[in-house]
Every structure is written in C-alpha cells, then in structure tokens.
Amino acid sequence: MAFGDYQLEIYFQGLAGVVPSLPMAFAELEAKAEMALAPSVWSYVAGGAGDERTQRVNREAFDRWGLIPRMFVGATERDLSVEMFGLTLPSPLFMAPIGVIGLCAQDGHGDLATARAAARTGVPMVGSTLTVDPMEDLAAAFGDTAGFFQLYPPTDREVAASLVNRAEAAGFKAIVITLDTWVTGWRPRDLSAANFPQLRGHCLANYVTDPVFRSLLGQDASPSAAVSLFARLFGNPLTWDDLPWLRSLTTLPLLVKGICHPDDARRARDGGVDGIYCSTHGGRQADGGLPALDCLPAVVDAADGLPVLFDSGVRSGADVIKALALGATAVAVGRPYAYGLAIGGADGIVHVLRSLLAEADLIMAVDGYPTVADLTRDTLRRTCTCHHD
C-alpha cells in the first residue's frame, strides 16, 4: 500500500458519513494540543530559547525553497525506503527524541504510546534518556520497527556505559549522542513558570532503574535523593577528546546530534561515528542561530557518504521532501507528533505520521519523483532571497 492511500481511506470513510476526528492541518493540531495539555507541559514543548527566533527561522527556512515539478514521469509507484547503517527503513521519517513526551499523553505514559505508534507505522522512535517508562519497556513495544536510543552523556562514565549497555541489550539499533544540551538553554516560557520537569522528579525512569545510578544513591533511594543525584550527573561538556570514549561504549551505530558546521561533521566522521545528526534542537537550546536547514547541505557534503539525519522546523510532508532534496538521509519530526499524542494518544501520533508520509508520497507522485534518490539539490529552487530584519 502506498503512503498516499491514507487520503483514500479518509475519503471513503466520508462516504459513510465519517469525517476525521483528528486535525488535518498543523495549525489546528497545535491549537487543540494547547487546550489538551497542562500549561506547564505546553510551554515546555511549544517553547524555545530566547525570543524563539531560531525556532521561527527553522520553520521559515523551508518556505525559501520550492520543488520543481517534472511531468511525463508516470510515478505510479513511489519508493520512499531508505538504507542507513545496515537498516532498511520503509520511509525516511523518524520521530525525534523528546524528553517530556511521556508527559504529553493524557495517561502520563507518552513514551510507551510513541513506541506503539512506531510499531504501527514502521516509523522509528528515538527514545530519550529522559522517559517516564524505562527504555526496556519502550523497546518491547517497538514490534518489528527499529528504535534508537538518545543519550545525554552524564558526567559519570560508568552511568553512561550502563545506560548504553542497557539500550544494546533491550534491542535498540543505534545510539544517538546529543551534544548541545550539557547545559539547558535560556527558555523564558519555562523560567516564567519556574518549571524544569526533571527537577520535579519527572521523566527519570532510566536513571532510577539503572543499577549503577542506584548504587551511587546508596541507602537513600528517596525521590528527592534521586533528583539531586540526577542534577549532579546531568550535563557533560564533551570535547573532541571524549569522542574515542563515546565510540568505545558500543558496537551499535553511533550518531552525534547537534552538528551544524561542516568542520564538526568531518571531524566526527574521522572519529569513527556512523552518522551525523544535523539539528538545532528545534530552537530550544540557543537563540540567534542559523536555521538547521541552511546548515544541512554543507554538513551533508562534509559527511562524505555517512548518513545525515535531520530535524528542526519540520511541520509537513513538503518539509520532509525539501530536507531530503537538500541531502538528508532521514528526517525527524518533533512537536507535531507530540501534539498528536496530546490530543489522541497513540492513535493521534499514528495519524500525524501517516499524514506526513501521505503528503510526502503524493508530492512525489504529482511532481514526478519516484524514489528518494530522485530528490536531489537541483530539483529545488530558491523562492526568494529576502532577508528579514
């Protein structure tokens, strides 16, 4: 079945008088999620760093590119599958790690709902270090879909090794090291509510279930002691000298997240990583930066054949197509699936993912691009060269 057939399901259900219960447009999805989430969770998920300029330009960067339609191609069948580090994935879409996704579900178990949505769609989930349910429970819910584990490297190397070893044992297919969050960015929305979920004891399941972390706790296994230890361990300001250690932690594919400069991509490649993850953390960590999309082509060139994963600002199937054309191997969505979860649980996530894939597939059909490989840089044109104050 083609991904675009999701629209046929919807239209045929309409013949029986059934219209979609979940939003079809991102703006409506966002508005409904704001009503569904507690204000503190909403501000944490929807907000960004500073005046949220980087968050906005991440989104607006996509508007500056347009895909050129090609006719007489007869793209009756589209192949959206991609291959990276030995995995064949049914599509280039995956779900970015979200450290409070657990709190976005009405039942408070959003990580599990996301894992179940991954199983139902074939869209991989990158499970965060910060989850409500332990990583083993997530991995058990993935079914046949690949899952990746995202590590915020703690300052204690034994805890780091333990978390990675557990991810390997649980069946995760790759380890993603996030480099841009050893300290949290300046987030006025969260500061206004003095809200840092993990310091309130949320999303720490992977720590409190970890044998090395528990041994460091000693006799005092109280929630407050766990939060205190987490706060002391979180945030390792890594340098290039740490890359050999990170590489030594696992035989799984190792990806580094937050790479936006080609020199960093080259050095990471030379240091033995298996993939580069180009991202500005959705504008959540540092304001005043470049859109991630503008950094992507040079990072792809520097990666020299390594898979390049991408996120930041993706809101539609059209955005996915443009990121692929600029060289991304796989493209992650973040806030949209969090919003789908907030209003519809696992069904809401599945709806968002199927909608993104349907739109991407139908654009490839209409515009004459049968495979992901056909989406190259010369299929895009700049729609404007405007500069905003």
CA–CA distance, 317 with 314 (Å, rounded to integer): 8
Residue 387: per-residue pLDDT: 57
CA–CA distance, 348 with 113 (Å, rounded to integer): 10
Where would I find the H helices in the chain? 6-15, 26-36, 39-46, 53-60, 110-121, 135-140, 157-170, 188-192, 205-208, 211-217, 223-233, 243-248, 262-270, 292-303, 317-325, 335-367
What type of residue sits at position 327? G
Q: What is the DSSP letter of 177?
A: E
Structure tokens of 204? 């720490």
Q: What is the DSSP letter of 67?
A: E
Close Cβ partners of 189 (under 8 Å, ≥ 6 residues apart): 43, 44, 46, 47
Residue 384: per-residue pLDDT: 78
CA–CA distance, 213 with 310 (Å, rounded to integer): 32
CB 120 within 8 Å of CB 346: yes
**Neighbour tally for 269: CB within 10 Å:** 19
Residue 19: per-residue pLDDT: 97
- SS3 helix, strand, coil % of the chain, rounded to 5? 50, 10, 40
HSE on the CB side for 139, CA within 13 Å?
16
- pTM assigned to the model: 0.97
| Known active-site residue 281 | yes
CA–CA distance, 282 with 52 (Å, rounded to integer): 10
CA–CA distance, 140 with 147 (Å, rounded to integer): 10
Residue 388: per-residue pLDDT: 55
Close Cβ partners of 95 (under 8 Å, ≥ 6 residues apart): 114, 117, 118, 123, 124, 125, 126, 332, 333, 334, 337, 349, 353
Question: In a structure prediction context, what are the per-residue pLDDT tens digits for the chain, which is 389 residues long?
Answer: 899 999 999 999 999 999 999 999 999 999 999 999 999 999 999 999 999 999 999 999 999 999 999 999 999 999 999 999 999 999 999 999 999 999 999 999 999 999 999 999 999 999 999 999 999 999 999 999 999 999 999 999 999 999 999 999 999 999 999 999 999 999 999 999 999 999 999 999 999 999 999 999 999 889 999 999 999 999 999 999 999 999 999 999 999 999 999 999 999 999 999 999 999 999 999 999 999 999 999 999 999 999 999 999 999 999 999 999 999 999 999 999 999 999 999 999 999 999 999 999 999 999 999 999 999 999 999 997 665 55
Q: 3-state class of 133 per DSSP?
A: coil
Concatenate the DSSP letters of all residues of 292-356 into one string. HHHHHHHHHHHHTTS-EEE-SS--SHHHHHHHHHTT-SEEEE-HHHHHHHHHHHHHHHHHHHHHH
Residue 1: per-residue pLDDT: 82
Residue 221: per-residue pLDDT: 85
CA–CA distance, 184 with 324 (Å, rounded to integer): 29
Residue 44: per-residue pLDDT: 94
CB-count burial class (<10 Å; 0-12, 13-18, 19+) for 341: buried
What is the phi/psi pair of residue 322, to 5°?
A: -65, -40
Residue 271: per-residue pLDDT: 98
Q: 3-state class of 43 per DSSP?
A: helix
CB-count burial class (<10 Å; 0-12, 13-18, 19+) for 83: exposed
Catalytic residue among 261, 281, 351, 387: 281
C-alpha separations of 275 from 162, 166, 201, 312 in Å: 22, 21, 32, 17
